[in-house]
Structure 1
Amino acid sequence: MKETSARLLRLLSLLQTRRDWSGAELADKLAITPRTVRRDVDRLRDLGYPVDATVGVGGGYRLGAGAEMPPLQLDDEEVLAVALSLQSGATGSVVGIGEASMRALAKLRQIMPSRLRHRLESLSIDVVPREPAASAVDASVLSAIASVCHNHERLRFDYRTHDGTQSRREVEPYRLVRSGVRWYLVAWDLSREDWRSFRVDRMEPKIPTGPRFTPRELPAGGAADFVSRGVARAYSSTRATVLLHAPIEQIAPMVSEQWGSVESTDEGRCVIVLSGTSLRSIAMWLRAFDVDFTVVNPPELREECRAIAAETAVAAQRYLDA
């Protein structure tokens, strides 16, 4: 009986690792006969696990969806990966899962072998409670959007742009993508007849959802690459060239290739090309170099620099008068 129970758990674990298994493959993995596989599958069904079977060429077994979660068999590295993910869940970009993450972690720790508990403690993360970030999204919203993506159902929502402009959108949703602390929906915008990425924290989905649609081919490179390119464009929509009165050896370590490039001119000076969301953001970046500089182009950057200089002077006076 003990051997049979262990074999059933092993069979259940195999069925969870991939979608379809042939009887011969399962028999080979478990070192039993195909007839024993059929009996063990029947035992799993008697225990309430929905194992679907297909006959004929290409037939086999598949674990279906049931009313309850079946037990999972995880190796040591998988257990640690799940535990660490749960530990960091409370500080993530999704609102409403922190408490559930801690409950699940407590259950997992309770049944962990001591060798794994010791490893987890050595990798322990201190979670500092804080208010959710402005870009955090509710778990129920993510779940609802993921559902329409999976079911290929049109989605209607109110959308707010960065400047506060509101609009009603109707899209064919395809993928949820996380970039940094933000979540994006990659979708085909029906009114604009083009691919778009939407920040989920700026969306207000409407119920009920729309009709089903036939999926299109995603943009070249896939959804994640589409979002990455969009984010890069947003952060490099404005460019400026500035002559810094400092050697390239001093400046280069401070410049990321994501938003700038630097090259040497004559001894003791270098030219930097900066990208940003606005000229003001570029002017503020220039303060970080703490060196003299000359604006090459555009000339409008000089006005932004003067405005920041005036603001800094006012702030400095407050400190002097304190």
Structure 2
Amino acid sequence: MVRAKGGPLQIEDVELGEPRAEEVLVRTVASGICHTDIIVRDQVLPPGPPAILGHEGAGVVEAVGSQVHGLAPGDHVVLAPVSCSACRNCLRGHPMNCDSFTALNFGGRRADGSTAYRDSTGAELNAHFFGQSSFSNHVIVPQRGAVKVPTEAPLELLGPLGCGLQTGAGAVLSALAPPAGSSIVVFGAGGVGLAAVMAAVIAGCDPIIAVDLNASRLDTAVELGATHAVRAADDTVEQIQAITRGGADFALDAVGLPATLRQAVTALNIGGTAGLVGANAVGQEVSLDLMHLLFGRTVKGIVEGDTVPALFIPRLVELFLRGRFPFDKIIERYPFSEINTAIEDAETGRAIKPVVLY
């Protein structure tokens, strides 16, 4: 857990309550490290410390509540963000735009304000992060946050499908849904951006342009199917316009800075769509050319790929098993005891998608 703003994660004994009627007890096998874990540790976003973070967990069901259906002890699951299932967006099939998304996933508590987690002194802990707090050997999760996956899939690799990989792939396949042959540019070749590149291959996009400052990550993007790699520079937009002969049909900002979103929008052709999946802090603003937008261009904010996790995560697993979504190529594994090293490697760019193994 993290006990101070910006401090290291500490491994401690924690008391975990019993699952409620609609909850599941899961033994965590592995958890990915996400940029969101880091900015919450640094208190850019809530919940505050002491808190148990982690939200890309995968594990094995050990117990289920009395009202849980479709899950049983022994099932393999990927843990995903939670939603209320009752608001207008949930009912319309957009649970990642849930009216209560922030409260349920960043509140550090169950919806009723309680917590299943206490430290060795009995003090309550902020947890239930994204419904899971997967930086823990065992977690209590709502049934709707546990997605059953085939046992033949390597469970130690699957955790990032719950957030980063779902976000990038879903942004392309679900939110933007480019027709085959569409041009697309992806800003940022981290885990989210590379998932978007792999999804663009699945969608049949051409060209697929990856933009990043890191040359080795651009090489990885090409290995995963990008047709062009552009080193971020002052003339990035001009390079994209030259490759696409006027502008991209779709652009995805997986960085989340005002400068990259502005470039993503500017690089669009008439009628093009830019998606934003990256974010770094509340209150950032971006200026855009209104006349440029007027000619049919769209800017779309996308949370967690705008997917239905219970449907989309099994789809990604199936694509992986068929060799069409080779996300294993971007994963670096660490023992749980080295979680702070894994986080440091994520911050410095030494690892694209670190995963800690329990």
Give me the TM-score of the superposition, normalised by structure 2: 0.22
Name the structure with the higher helix share: 1
| Greater RCO structure (CA 8 Å; 6+ sep) | 2
Give me the TM-score of the superposition, normalised by structure 1: 0.23
